[in-house]
Amino acid sequence: SQFFVSCDTITSYQKYWSSMVFSPLHVLVLYDLPEITDGHADPTYLLNHPDRPTERDVCKTIKKLGMKLSVFGVYDQLESIPETVHRIKPDVVFNLCETFLGDRMHEGHIAGVLQLIGVPITGATAEALQICKDKAIAKKIVRYDGIRVPSFKVIQRGELLDQDLKE
């Protein structure tokens, strides 16, 4: 899947910070790991990793903007997220986590943990991510707001299709 990064928010932060006498914005890039990997907290891992182009490009842009960069990869240790945030004390977390334990259904849960910690995050809220994962709910919401949506039916795993839906 493609991921499009808009740096407008970060750029406006950078303009604000550069006009002040404060230290540069400290950004923690949080990303998901497909497995436990050494080096998941080393920025050079992402800056040089060919299989992580989105993460690499985000990190390079943050560095190019003169911000302080920290990175942390998450696979299966949920408690490591608040521990890392409290230890690093970033100004904002650039949340690139789309899975936890390799399961995409947990994408919203990671954002929820970050929201509970109280650290500013980029991207959608936990609620928005969970709604997007439930296509039937998302379609009902947009239909309610007057956007035309094709008819649909939710089929549970193992349930047989009605004959009229097959045609």
Summarize pLDDT for 31-72 with one digit per residue, the tens. 888 777 666 667 677 777 778 888 889 999 999 999 999 999
pLDDT higher at 96 or 40: 96
Assign 115 a pLDDT band (cuts: 50, 70, 90).
Answer: very high
Summarize pLDDT for 133-165 with one digit per residue, the tens. 888 898 999 999 999 999 888 888 888 776 655
SS (H, E, C) the chain: CCCCCCCHHHHHHHHHHHCCCCCCCEEEEEEECCCCCCCCCCHHHHHHCCCCHHHHHHHHHHHHCCCEEEEEEECCCCCHHHHHHHHHCCCEEEEECCCECCEHHHHHHHHHHHHHHCCCECCCCHHHHHHHHCHHHHHHHHHHCCCCCCCCCCCCCCCCCCHHHHC
**The pLDDT of residue 164:** 59
Whether residue 2 is predicted with pLDDT greater than 50 in this model: the reply is no
